[in-house]
Amino acid sequence: YDSLEAPNSNSVDNLPCIPPPPPPPPQVEISLQSSFQPGMKLEVANKSSPDTFWVATIITTCGQLLLLRFSGYGDDRKADFWCDVMTAELHPVGWCAQNNKTLMPPEAIKEKYSDWTEFLVQDLTGARTAPANLLEGPLRGKNTVDLIVEGSVLELQDASDPFLYWPVRVLQNTGGRLRLRYAGLSEELRAPDAWLFYLDVRLRPLGWALENQLRLEPPTELRTLKSATDWQQALEDARGDGQKNPLPLEVFKDHVDLPEHAFKTGMKLEMVSPWERLQICPVSVTKVSPHIYFQVTQDDLSADAQPRSVVCHAGSPGILPVQWCLKNGVTLERPRGLGGPDFDWADYLKQSGTEAAPDGCFPDTWQSRGFAKDMWLEAVNPHRPAEVCVAQITQVRGRLLWLRLEGVSKPLSEIIVDVESTDIFPVGWCEANSYPLTPPLKAVCQKQKKIAVVQPEKQLAPSQPAETTPANHCLPVAVDTGAPNGRYCCSKIFVNHRCFSGPYLNKGRIADLPQAVGPGKCSLVLKELLSLLINSAYKPGRVLKELQELEDPGWDCQEETLKAKYKGKTYRSTIRIVRLVDQIPDFCRKVCVKLQCCPNLFSPVLVTDKCPENCSVQTKTKYTYYYGKKRKLAKPVGGEDTAEGDLTKPARRRKKRKSIFVQKKRRSSAVDYTPAGSPQDSDEGDEDDDTPLQSGSEGTSSEPREDHTDASSVEATSSRPRRAAALRRVVTARSTADSQEAAAGGRRRSTRSLAASNRNKYQPAEGQDVQEDEGQLVLDRNPLEWSVDEVVQFINSTDCASLANIFQEQDIDGQALLLLTLPTVQECMDLKLGPAIKLCHQIERVKVAFYRQFAN
């Protein structure tokens, strides 16, 4: 939402604190599930033997993708395989027998059983086959929610009489939220249409009422609109329509069975008022139906009382035990006509001669499902059910959420809903389902200033890798109402880790990325994928610049802003991303070509073994020369002896004296600090020295390593041989540790030597009781409990006192202090190598003292 964007700022440190996105409501999660269920049986084409088939079991589902296992493998997962419902040759069990096709087990298990016929009889006994209509025809591959189409007929329970049903027709299906109209009503003669989510317990398949011996009658308030004969004819017409286009029973597979209740007539409880959506009031159980339903009536002691009743069940949202409001600090409305200054449940129960409903009658009243204050949602306006509004959570108490609906005038904008209400949806739900979202009446925070398209040479600071906009930041929402949802949604896009990563991307960071992103909306999936690639670059700012230039006149694009933060500096760029699923393969390929990597590095196609492009034979330097920008290659720098040699071109880069240390994640859980050499450092030095996106402080490497292990052989040519040699020794000391044990030992030796050379530098700060014991720091208070001021006092008492204001500005307390490392200090505090090492020595002293005194 444009009005929800954070104010513009050059640093994310100045942005307001934006809460994380709320968890998706359960009905939304269920609606995205496949119609196929694990355990279903299919007949699948046998790839090893053409024109033969074999029975397979569905192991799990992901959108229209099924993970299958051939019968006979038992619990062995080695032969599991994925297939697409829309493209694979899948049939229900029995199809081969009807069409004279051969059933033959795969070659790998052909000898496992002597009598496969007997095996199939046992395997299929009691099993459930996949429905034929989900494997062929118009419903093929559709999710459960998409099986309900316009014109489908269901039966709807009456709101005031739980034993009364009447057919309704589906006029609209928006992501599972159905617009329903009672059979017999038309545009000219109609009551307001009902809006219900397809999982609502009031909805049943056609014929359910008669099967359960319930009445089929039109709602009481509508009976006078037509004669009994007309209503009967409407019922027959609805039944005929339902039989012509029967609704698959898979639609109701996720409907819950209502539990039996334990309420008795006369019991008192508290309830969110169905009539005043911001009030909780006392109610009484006035009628009990066998097993499932009971009726509650709002307490009203006034002389002109008009009874207001509603039918409930044990799982009804909004029913609460007595004293719930008192325990949660929420106002309980007094019954009308009740005298006395204050309402007290004990006095009220004694006066009325009734009892409170036991706590065991209610669902879990403390289940908040992770919702928190100030989170944003999309919620139905209860006063206009067709309207969905932007909503902010203003309060959370147990299972109840207090919402403020933006775009709705007060006092109707304040409502209370249950955490499992089917009328709340996650941010972006309306956009994903092409449904209009009511915008706020006014901006709820300062509107972000418009940002021009970033020209990296002018706006971006040097050495700035890109970072994506955090997922919890509010983004503009564009509602698209013209095309079917399928065009804008895609399945997984794979990151093929074995493919060549090119000169821009770090192969080690690529290896840490997830294997796939998606499924989901095309623009969101691609934005997340581009964000991951940008963060995997040697110089993300350069990658951001390359992506900014990517466009094609034939693409249907939308612009997305990606934000980068590196060494405390932030910049943004607008990237054009395709919106249609059929344009994704071309987009992915052109991005890969732009980044000079293998065209299959990220693609809708999974590369399992050998890449079709044969990219494994490439190295970064050769690929840059032969397939990139045809730059001349610099010869490798031999070592210290060559620093004063006759290498003319590398001498131009001698001004790059500062090495950048990149903290890499290793599979063995040990942490390495290795200089990040990249082909840009060597191959682009001659061409891009004046480009702001090219880092002026990054170490150089003439032969970048393609693997993602330690790069200890990276060396730098410098005009100061002594300083270069010293830097190499520092780099080597941190990059030759091949295991966690060796790394830990190296840190201990480094700490002891640094502590010995600086044992007299630290004096206790005022307010801190800190001593020196034989050259080692002795703390009388756990540094995890230090406040920001105590950390500042400690830094002031060392030879790094000039840096104390940084700790004050960035609110670094004791816990944050112990997490600081050399790469973190360099990136977050923008320090040169010398001051950073000096500061890290003091931090290391505190860490050693912490481990010695408090860690155990």
Look up the CATH number of the domain holding residue 788.
1.10.150.50
User: Do both 527 and 594 map to the same domain?
Assistant: yes
Of 189, 173, 184, nearest in space to 216 by CA? 184
User: What's the pLDDT band for 167 if we cut at 50, 70, 90?
Assistant: very high
- At 789, list the tokens: 């001021």
User: Do both 106 and 237 map to the same domain?
Assistant: no
| Strand residues in 567-684 grouped as ranges (E) | 569-578, 602-603, 661-665, 671-675
Whole-angstrom Cα distance, residue 772 to residue 762?
8
Whole-angstrom Cα distance, residue 484 to residue 319?
39
The verdict on whether omega for the bond into residue 411 sits within 30 degrees of 0, i.e. cis, is: yes
Quick one: what percent of the chain has pLDDT higher than 90?
16
Q: Directed axis angle between helix 740-757 and helix 833-853, to 10°? A: 100
- Domain with residue 617: its CATH number is 3.90.1150.190
User: Do both 116 and 165 map to the same domain?
Assistant: no
User: What's the pLDDT band for 58 if we cut at 50, 70, 90?
Assistant: very high
Whole-angstrom Cα distance, residue 15 to residue 842?
31
Whole-angstrom Cα distance, residue 508 to residue 530?
17
- Domain with residue 348: its CATH number is 2.30.30.140
The 3-state DSSP class for residue 17 equals coil
With residues binned 3-state (H G I as helix, E B as strand, rest as coil), the percentages for the chain, rounded to 5, are 30, 20, 50
User: What's the pLDDT band for 773 if we cut at 50, 70, 90?
Assistant: low
Q: What is the DSSP string of 773-823?
A: ETTEEEESS-GGG--HHHHHHHHHTTTTGGGHHHHHHTT--HHHHHH--HH
Between residues 28 and 515, which one has the greater pLDDT?
A: 515
Whole-angstrom Cα distance, residue 251 to residue 173?
13
Q: Which of 136-145, 542-551, 746-755, 841-850 has the highest mean pLDDT?
A: 841-850
Burial letters 73-90, b for 16+ CB under 10 A, else e: beeeeeeeeebebeebeb
Of 376, 363, 377, nearest in space to 324 by CA? 363
Last residue of a domain, one of 331, 361, 391: 361
CB neighbour list of residue 726: distance below 8 Å, 6 or more residues apart: none
3-state secondary structure 419-443: CCCCCEECCCHHHHCCCCCECCCCC
Backbone angles phi, psi at 392, to 5 degrees: -115, 135
* Distances in whole angstroms, Cα of residue 678 to Cα of each of 504, 683, 824: 7, 9, 20
CB neighbour list of residue 295: distance below 8 Å, 6 or more residues apart: 285, 286, 287, 288, 289, 309, 310, 311, 312
Residue 474's CB: how many other CB atoms inside 10 A? 20
Which element (helix H / strand E) includes 721? helix 721-735
Whole-angstrom Cα distance, residue 683 to residue 295?
78
Whole-angstrom Cα distance, residue 491 to residue 82?
13
pLDDT given for residue 828 in this prediction:
81
User: Do both 226 and 302 map to the same domain?
Assistant: no
Residue 289 pLDDT > 50: yes
Count: domains in the chain:
6
pLDDT given for residue 567 in this prediction:
61
Q: Directed axis angle between helix 788-796 and helix 833-853, to 10°? A: 120
User: Do both 172 and 218 map to the same domain?
Assistant: yes
- At 707, list the tokens: 């693997």
Contacts 24+ apart (CB under 8 A), 406-414: 406/438, 406/439, 406/440, 406/441, 406/444, 407/438, 407/439, 407/440, 407/441, 408/381, 408/383, 408/438, 408/441, 409/441, 411/278, 412/381, 412/383, 414/277, 414/278
Q: Which of 219-223, 234-238, 550-554, 777-781 has the highest mean pLDDT?
A: 234-238
User: Do both 522 and 611 map to the same domain?
Assistant: yes
Question: Does the predicted model carry a pTM greater than 0.75?
Answer: no
Q: What range defines the domain where residue 623 resides? A: 486-628
Answer whether residue 521 is part of any domain.
yes
Contact, 485 vs 577, CB < 8 A? Answer: no
Amino acid at 10: N
pLDDT given for residue 571 in this prediction:
59
Residue 55 pLDDT > 50: yes
Whole-angstrom Cα distance, residue 545 to residue 622?
23
Tens of pLDDT, residues 459-499: 333 333 433 333 333 333 333 333 334 678 888 899 988 88
Contact, 289 vs 341, CB < 8 A? Answer: no
Answer whether residue 431 is part of any domain.
yes
Contact, 82 vs 119, CB < 8 A? Answer: no
User: Do both 596 and 494 map to the same domain?
Assistant: yes
154 bridge partner residues: 168, 205
- Average confidence (pLDDT) over 182-193: 80
Answer whether residue 832 is part of any domain.
yes
pLDDT given for residue 687 in this prediction:
37
- In the numeric block, the tokens 């939402």 are attached to 1
Answer whether residue 454 is part of any domain.
no
Whole-angstrom Cα distance, residue 198 to residue 251?
8
User: Do both 92 and 192 map to the same domain?
Assistant: no
Side-chain half-sphere CA neighbours of 696 within 13 A = 8
Answer whether residue 717 is part of any domain.
no
Answer whether residue 654 is part of any domain.
no
Straight-line distance from the first to the last Cα atom of the chain, in angstroms, rounded to the nearest whole number: 50
- At 635, list the tokens: 């010869």
Answer whether residue 745 is part of any domain.
no
Whole-angstrom Cα distance, residue 225 to residue 784?
74
pLDDT given for residue 318 in this prediction:
87
Residue 683 pLDDT > 80: no
User: What's the pLDDT band for 190 if we cut at 50, 70, 90?
Assistant: low
User: Do both 243 and 208 map to the same domain?
Assistant: yes
- Average confidence (pLDDT) over 64-88: 89
User: Do both 315 and 392 map to the same domain?
Assistant: no
Tens of pLDDT, residues 736-755: 434 344 434 444 444 344 33
Answer whether residue 680 is part of any domain.
no
pLDDT given for residue 365 in this prediction:
58
User: Do both 73 and 171 map to the same domain?
Assistant: no
Last residue of a domain, one of 307, 334, 361: 361
Contact, 682 vs 621, CB < 8 A? Answer: yes
Amino acid at 611: C
Whole-angstrom Cα distance, residue 243 to residue 237?
10
DSSP 13: G
Of 473, 460, 481, nearest in space to 534 by CA? 460
- Average confidence (pLDDT) over 213-232: 88
Last residue of a domain, one of 565, 594, 628: 628
User: Do both 492 and 619 map to the same domain?
Assistant: yes
- At 567, list the tokens: 């060494």
Indicate the average pLDDT of the chain.
Answer: 74
pLDDT given for residue 531 in this prediction:
87
Alpha carbon 727 to chain centroid, angstroms: 42
The 3-state DSSP class for residue 503 equals coil
